[in-house]
């Protein structure tokens, strides 16, 4: 599972799982980079995980930072984070006030969807496993206040079980 690094997001608690039951990679904004791809390829090929979830969350600081910056480049390595989220904000921002919390939550969902798609677009290993039905791929949004997690399908050609 790919989660935001936000310390308030605790996957084991959210899903009522033991600490050794979730293979997780984390970074700010739950974005797909080469390290994440390598981790997931390992998890699929060697650990045979049956499910991949990209979990975004409401009130995400990384989403907020990228949203605030708009087209201005963020400093230093934050620019990398921004690049991974490129394009997610434009259509949402055009329709809303950028300071609205609902807009940020909408962006969190959009980002999680985009990152989940990138997993299969950028990794032939993951794409093949999903196509074959060995792995289900979803994205989800967590509301940390209520503890509710909403799950969504990623691609229409992803198998549903």
Applying CB under 5 A, which residues contact Zn ion?
A: 4, 6, 60, 62
Judged by CB, which is closer to Zn ion: 1, or 62?
A: 62
Single out the residue of 117, 94, 118 nearest to residue 106, CA to CA.
94
Q: How far is the CB of 156 from Zn ion (least distance, A)?
A: 27
Q: How far apart are CA 14 and CA 129, in angstroms?
A: 26
Shorter beta-carbon distance to Zn ion: residue 52 or 62: 62
CB of 68 to Zn ion, least distance (A): 14
Instruction: State the CB neighbour count (10 A cutoff) for residue 129.
Output: 23
* Minimum distance of Zn ion from residue 48's CB (angstroms): 29
Residue closer to Zn ion by CB (options 57, 138) is 57
- Residue position matching structure tokens 């997610």: 88
**Tokens 């790919």 sit at which residue?**
2
What is the rounded CA–CA span in Å between residue 58 and residue 95? 19
CB-nearer residue toward Zn ion: 62 or 112 = 62
Q: Shortest Cβ distance from residue 103 to Zn ion (Å)?
A: 15
Query: Quick one: which H or E segment has residue 92?
Result: helix 90-95
């Amino acid at each position: 599972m790919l989660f935001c690094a936000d310390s308030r997001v605790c996957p084991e608690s959210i899903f009522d799982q033991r600490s050794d039951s979730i293979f997780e990679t984390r970074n700010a904004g739950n974005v797909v980079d080469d390290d994440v791809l390598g981790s997931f390829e390992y998890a699929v090929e060697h650990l045979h995980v049956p499910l991949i979830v990209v979990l975004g969350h409401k009130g995400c600081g990384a989403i907020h930072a990228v949203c605030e910056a708009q087209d201005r480049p963020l400093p230093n390595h934050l620019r990398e984070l921004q690049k991974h989220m490129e394009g997610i904000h434009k259509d949402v921002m055009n329709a809303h006030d950028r300071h609205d919390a609902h807009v940020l939550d909408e962006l969190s969902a959009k980002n999680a969807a985009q990152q989940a798609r990138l997993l299969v677009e950028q990794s032939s290993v993951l794409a093949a496993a999903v196509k074959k039905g060995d792995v289900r791929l979803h994205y989800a949004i967590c509301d940390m206040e209520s503890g509710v997690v909403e799950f969504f399908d990623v691609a229409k050609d992803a198998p549903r079980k």
